Structure 1
Amino acid sequence: MQTKAVLTQTEVARILAAARAEAQANQWAVSIAVVDDGGHPLALERLDGGVPLTAYIAVEKARGAALGRRETKAYEETINGGRTAFLSVPVLSGMLEGGVPILVDGQVIGAVGVSGVRAELDAQIAKAGVAAL
């Protein structure tokens, strides 16, 4: 039987704190979501001034990164590259850059999704959260 790491609330809090610090250092009003490996939400934080829609998008970006086992930037690049049929994939709706998987020993144990600024900046914030582990 295989075993793998799982996110506890301690790690989730550390991820949120690091992502929040990155966003606040740049004065970016974003939403930050953390999900488990099945895409189930573990935490969501919308910073002061964040647009309500960003909360939904952040969760979907995180879910897409967890379920697809890759950064959501890859989905966006696929679609922008002309493979528009990829938009019909069931379950995935956060196919914009800003979702980053959390890997431990080569296994995805969750993901971070951020929404609220330009896509590459969302990814920067998400990666800051992941790096906190």
Structure 2
Amino acid sequence: MKNKAVLGQSEVARILATARAEAQSNQWPVSIVVVDDGGHPLALERLDGASPISAYIATEKARTAALGRRESKGYEEMVNGGRTAFLSAPLLTSLEGGVPIIHDGQVIGAVGVSGVKAEQDAQVAKAGAQCLR
């Protein structure tokens, strides 16, 4: 039997607060989603000014990072590099902005962000994902 860390509500709150602070310090209206290792939503926050669709896209970015065990950007790079077959993969989005949360070498969840440029979404997601280290 293996043991694994699980995100609790205090960790989820810290992740959201850190990601929100990163977004607000740059005045980026984004949606931020935290999911567990199975891609199930634990929290969603849509900042003032973020478009309604950004909540859906952020969720799919987070789910992709959790299930794929890597940043969603990797899938975007594969598709852009010519592996268009990845568009039919069971992952839900191949857009940058989904980042896994890693603890003791294991993926325990992910953060997805949507609402601004892809690299800015990723910057916010990384801030949240790395705050538990």
Band of TM-score, shorter chain: over 0.9
What corresponds to 1:132 in structure 2? 131
Q: Deviations over 1:78-121 (max 9, x none)?
A: 0000000100012x222101000000111000000000011011
TM-score, structure 1 as length reference: 0.98
What corresponds to 1:39 in structure 2? 39
Distance in structure 1 (CA, Å) of the matches to 2:66 and 2:92: 13
Distance in structure 1 (CA, Å) of the matches to 2:75 and 2:100: 13
Mark the runs of 5 or more structure 1 residues left unpaired by the alignment.
Answer: none
Q: Deviations over 1:9-64 (max 9, x none)?
A: 00000000000000000000000000000000000000000000000000000000
What corresponds to 2:122 in structure 1? 123
Distance in structure 1 (CA, Å) of the matches to 2:9 and 2:114: 22
Q: Deviations over 1:54-75 (max 9, x none)?
A: 0000000000000000000000
What corresponds to 2:66 in structure 1? 66
What corresponds to 1:103 in structure 2? 102
Runs of 4+ in structure 1 off by over 2 angstroms are none
What corresponds to 1:24 in structure 2? 24
TM-score, structure 2 as length reference: 0.98
How large is the Cα RMSD of the aligned pairs?
0.5
Shift of 1:130: 1.3
User: Sequence identity, in percent?
Assistant: 77
Please give the residue correspondences for 1:62-101 in structure 2 after superposition, counting only pairs within 5 Å.
Answer: 62-90=62-90, 92-101=91-100
SS of the residue corresponding to residue 116 of structure 2 reads coil
Distance in structure 1 (CA, Å) of the matches to 2:94 and 2:42: 20
Distance in structure 2 (CA, Å) of the matches to 1:94 and 1:43: 19
Distance in structure 1 (CA, Å) of the matches to 2:104 and 2:16: 21
How many residues in Structure 1 have an aligned counterpart in Structure 2? 132
What corresponds to 1:114 in structure 2? 113
